């Protein structure tokens, strides 16, 4: 266990983690089995170092490859731009 800024102890949890995006139709990506530490007093969550790298990589890949492409394609509808699946990430990172 580690100590939080509020003075409470935090414990390691393996659970779902939500990434918020700015992409129309895909506002959130929910990842399963992500390790993070949560304070027992204030409830603040902090990702472990390896989980943080993984989440940052997914977020940057998703925002760069899918959000920028959908911005450039003004002719395509929102339904076509939002048809990307989370499985694309797992193929990319071979998880």
State the Cα angle at 31 between 30 and 37, rounded to 5°: 110
Q: How far is Cα 55 from Cα 65, in angstroms, rounded to an integer?
A: 15
Structure tokens at 41: 């007093």
Segments making up each domain of the chain, as ranges: 2-93
Q: Which of 3-12, 70-79, 86-95 has the highest mean pLDDT?
A: 3-12
Contacts of 81 (CB under 8 A, 6+ apart): 23, 24, 25, 66, 69, 70, 73
Q: What is the pLDDT of residues 32-88, one digit of tens each?
A: 888 888 888 888 888 888 888 888 888 787 777 765 555 555 444 444 444 456 666
Q: How far is Cα 65 from Cα 71, in angstroms, rounded to an integer?
A: 10
Evaluate whether the domain defined by 2-93 bears CATH number 3.30.470.20. no
Model pTM above 0.85: no
């Amino acid at each position: 266990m580690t100590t939080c800024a509020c003075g409470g102890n935090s414990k390691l949890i393996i659970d779902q983690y939500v990434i918020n995006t700015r992409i129309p139709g895909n506002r959130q990506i929910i990842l399963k089995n992500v390790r993070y530490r949560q304070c027992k007093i204030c409830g603040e969550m902090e990702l472990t170092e390896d989980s943080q790298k993984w989440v940052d990589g997914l977020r940057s890949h998703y925002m760069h490859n899918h959000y920028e492409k959908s911005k450039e394609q003004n002719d395509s509808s929102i339904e076509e731009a939002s048809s990307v699946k989370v499985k694309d990430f797992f193929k990319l990172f071979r998880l």
